Amino acid sequence: MAGLCVRSTLVTGANRGIGLGIVKQLLQMPNPPEWVFAACQDPKGEQAQELQHLAPKHPNLVNIPLEVTDAASIQAAAARVREHLKGSGLNLLINNAGIAKVISLDTETVENISQVYATWASAGPSFLSLQAFLPLLKKAAQGSSSSELSCSKAAIINMSSIVGSIEKICFWDNVQYISYRCSKAALNMLTKFQSLGYRQHGILCTALHPGLVQMDMGNSAGHKPPLTVDMSIQGMLNVLCSLSEKDTGTFLD
Ligand SMILES: NC(=O)c1ccc[n+]([C@@H]2O[C@H](COP(=O)([O-])OP(=O)(O)OC[C@H]3O[C@@H](n4cnc5c(N)ncnc54)[C@H](OP(=O)(O)O)[C@@H]3O)[C@@H](O)[C@H]2O)c1
């Protein structure tokens, strides 16, 4: 983790699960970010109690409201972040929030597909990155002395899943997850396009599979996943440290 030297980072879906775990580990780093923006639907609500307890102990933690399918909420969150950063850029945007529904090919519905897509593949990662936070990411890249792409400079990390891999088609016999799988496959494609579009601005874009984690979503596959949330996040932070030019546009485990 020593190499991850990030001045500011924003994590979506930060009130529980992997998002909360990332926030906690970032705050515990020997050299923590100056700003950790923990974005969630209702930072004052019951579901965000851990974040509420963390905030007084960590002046660098800012809990902000963000509903990733709502453009107005995204714009308001970007304005809050801009205000805190006072003219500097945002280094690392982690698009983590989302939902998974255990639905089979026979029972999948259009409503469900639209809802899951809105969170993973369209509104969330594209509005967040394309419209609202891109200027802040560009500013971070421009302010960096390094010519190399990295998470320390400016990066968008899209939390994907191995179940979105068309090549592997993992766990089909256990759980079909139709809309979830399709939305993650689309998210991987979006990541590729983001990498092509934003390379010139110095922004690294990578899709990451966190492993199968013992959280609500991982447990929904019907068996106990192998990784604790801490193991998954330690692994991901190590990967984030090592990301460079060759990794932009890729989908990594
Ligand atoms: N767990 C695994 O084994 C596993 C495996 C592969 C990939 N992943 C990926 O890792 C990421 C996190 O997974 P997880 O296991 O931590 O999931 P989780 O425990 O179900 O947490 C999901 C988070 O997303 C938030 N969220 C959902 N819809 C939202 C919306 N419209 N706007 C804002 N926030 C929203 C939830 O907020 P609320 O509390 O307000 O609902 C919650 O904070 C996801 O991208 C998932 O696909 C997980």
Domains of the chain: 8-252 (3.40.50.720)
Among protein residues, the one with the nearest Cα to ligand 1's atom 43 is 13
Q: What is the mean pLDDT of residues 25-49?
A: 97
153-174 pLDDT, tens digit per residue, is 999 999 999 999 999 888 888 8
Q: Which residues contact 15 (CB under 8 A, 6 or more apart)?
A: 38, 40, 41, 42, 43, 47, 48, 50, 51
User: pLDDT higher for 222 or 48?
Assistant: 48
164-210 pLDDT, tens digit per residue, is 999 988 888 888 888 999 999 999 999 999 999 999 999 999 999 99
Give the rounded percent of residues in the chain with a pLDDT score beyond 70. Answer: 91
73 lines ligand 1 (CB under 6 A): no
- pLDDT, residue 248, reads 98
68-87 pLDDT, tens digit per residue, is 988 889 999 999 999 999 99
- pLDDT, residue 251, reads 97
For residue 27, give Cα distances in angstroms to 15, 17, 77, 132, 137.
Answer: 14, 16, 20, 25, 21
69 lines ligand 1 (CB under 6 A): yes
- pLDDT, residue 101, reads 82
Find tokens 């639905």 and name the residue: 103
86-118 pLDDT, tens digit per residue, is 999 999 999 999 888 888 899 989 888 888 887
CA 159 to ligand 1 center in whole angstroms: 9
Q: What is the mean pLDDT of residues 136-150?
A: 96
What's the gap between Cα 250 and its chain centre? Answer: 15
99 lines ligand 1 (CB under 6 A): yes
Residue 2 scores a pLDDT above 60: no
For residue 63, give Cα distances in angstroms to 54, 80, 154, 227, 238.
Answer: 10, 10, 21, 27, 25
CA 217 to ligand 1 center in whole angstroms: 7
* CA-15 nearest atom, ligand 1: 43
213 lines ligand 1 (CB under 6 A): yes
Among protein residues, the one with the nearest Cα to ligand 1's atom 33 is 67
Residue 123 scores a pLDDT above 60: no
- pLDDT, residue 104, reads 87
77 lines ligand 1 (CB under 6 A): no
18 lines ligand 1 (CB under 6 A): yes
Number of C-beta neighbours around residue 166 at 10 A: 8
98 lines ligand 1 (CB under 6 A): yes
d(CA 6, CA 96): 18
CA 170 to ligand 1 center in whole angstroms: 19
Among protein residues, the one with the nearest Cα to ligand 1's atom 7 is 161
* CA-18 nearest atom, ligand 1: 16
CA 220 to ligand 1 center in whole angstroms: 12
